[in-house]
Amino acid sequence: MSERLRLMAVHAHPDDESSKGAATMARYAREGAEVLVVTLTGGERGDILNPAMERPEIRENIAEVRREEMNRAREILGVEQEFAGFVDSGLPEGDPLPPLPEGCFATLPVEDAAEPLVAAIRRFRPHVILTYDENGGYPHPDHIMTHKVSMHAFDAAAEPNAYPDAGDPWQPLKLYYFVSFPPERFEALAKILAERGLDNPFEEWMERIKDRERPRWEITTRVECSEYFDIAHDALRAHATQIDPNGFWFAVPNAVVAEAWPTEDYHLVRSLVDTEVPEQDLFAGVREAMRV
């Protein structure tokens, strides 16, 4: 196969790429695929979630700091990355919810917000695109907008009359939703921890979210990538403003996690190549089509 496989992951903020599908990207990059993360906003309105990073100079320069964190994470994962240039919408709180800031990503018309992604697709020419479901994975306005923009761009990038200044048309072949935190994964982990007499750091979190209304997507594709879990955690720690290295996400050794659930999981939404689910490879069907 002379042409390299190409994978694009579309995310809302810097750090999202390291908490959703990071080990998958690390695996494919090391197997020779080209991997590009498109980060739609700069995360300017994100909170500082690591107490050790709560300092005035960081707070005042959060946009620049988060770009530096993203660059470190990109290097760890071994992928390429680019920002689309939109402004973080923030996560509104209150009852009723306040309006979103004027001009932020989630307030833009989908057709306008999709243009940089269409240009990135036409330039990078991905065979496979990863993105969020209509709930955004969780209902942050930028995540929901990322879903809308990704779905629009998947088709528009191939339309010759759409976005004439965004490059030559290109049709991606497959599109997936992340299924990042399936309850079954945490149930399997809880079982192993209980068998070993170990505390389950996710117990309270599982209880809190169990009745939360959200789409339950079938896992159509399980990518075995446990060998790269440590790399994914290193990339996540690189986003030092967003993750507490002493937090519960790192409390269980990756060897135990791998025993319970050695895959990252996806739902196949669109495919223009022949494939059969369940899959074990995001490029299933693509590899065969490229050999024809």
Name every residue whose Cβ is closer than 8 Å to that of residue 57 and which is 6 or more positions away in sequence. Answer: none
Show the tokens assigned to 1.
């196969």
Distance in angstroms (rounded) separating the CA atoms of residues 261 and 71: 29
143 burial (CB, 10 Å; 0-12 / 13-18 / 19+) is: buried
Contact predicate 21/8, CB 8 Å: no
Q: Estimate to the nearest angstrom the gap between the alpha carbon of 223 and the chain centroid.
A: 14
Distance in angstroms (rounded) separating the CA atoms of residues 216 and 43: 27
Radius of gyration of the CA atoms of the chain, in A: 19
Query: Which phi and psi angles does 131 have, rounded to 5°?
Result: -155, -170
Query: Is 239 annotated as a binding-site member?
Result: no
Helices (H), 157-253: 183-195, 203-209, 229-238
Query: Is 142 annotated as a binding-site member?
Result: no
Helices (H) and strands (E) in the chain, counts: 12, 7
291 burial (CB, 10 Å; 0-12 / 13-18 / 19+) is: exposed
Q: Is 154 helix (H, G, I), strand (E, B) or coil?
A: helix
Query: Is 13 annotated as a binding-site member?
Result: yes
Fill in the amino acid letter for 149. V
Which residues belong to the annotated binding site? 13, 16, 143
Which residues belong to the annotated binding site for Zn(2+)? 13, 16, 143
